[in-house]
Amino acid sequence: MAKVTLKKKVEAEQATGLSEVKLYARKIWLAGLGAYSKAGFEGAEYVKDLIKTGEGVERGGKKVVNEQIEAANSEIDTVKSEVKGLKGELEVQFEKVEHAFDSRVSRALNRFGIASKHDVQRLSAKLDGLTALLERVARKQ
């Protein structure tokens, strides 16, 4: 009987050890399921948080870029207006120089006895009138 009692004791200890292993394995299994579930939920939340942060950075970046574009456009407009002003002034000065040059050249040509463009046009008009008069006289005869 001692053998039977000892055998039952050993079997009971083995069963206890086996159930402890099963219990430990179940705990590991449940811990894995919990970690998977938590990672799935918290992972989705983490991704959402990253998206929100990215959107904020994007808005800030767009704001900075737009401010820089507006500043550059403002500077361009200022330079354009300054160039327009200078262009107008240069045109006026160029016209003055051109007029002075034309009048001096015209005076110099008159000194040499060369007719001006205006003189030639006036003479051409007179010649056209005289030609027309001669043609009328010739038709009457």
- Give the start-to-end residue ranges of the domains of the chain: 2-140
Is residue 118 scored above 60 in pLDDT? yes
Query: Are 116 and 110 a contacting pair, CB within 8 Å?
Result: yes
Distance CA(35)–CA(24), nearest Å, equals 16
pTM: 0.39
pLDDT at position 125 is 93
- How many percent of the chain have pLDDT more than 90? 17
Give me the percent of the chain exceeding a pLDDT of 70. 87
Tell me what the pLDDT averaged over the chain comes to: 81
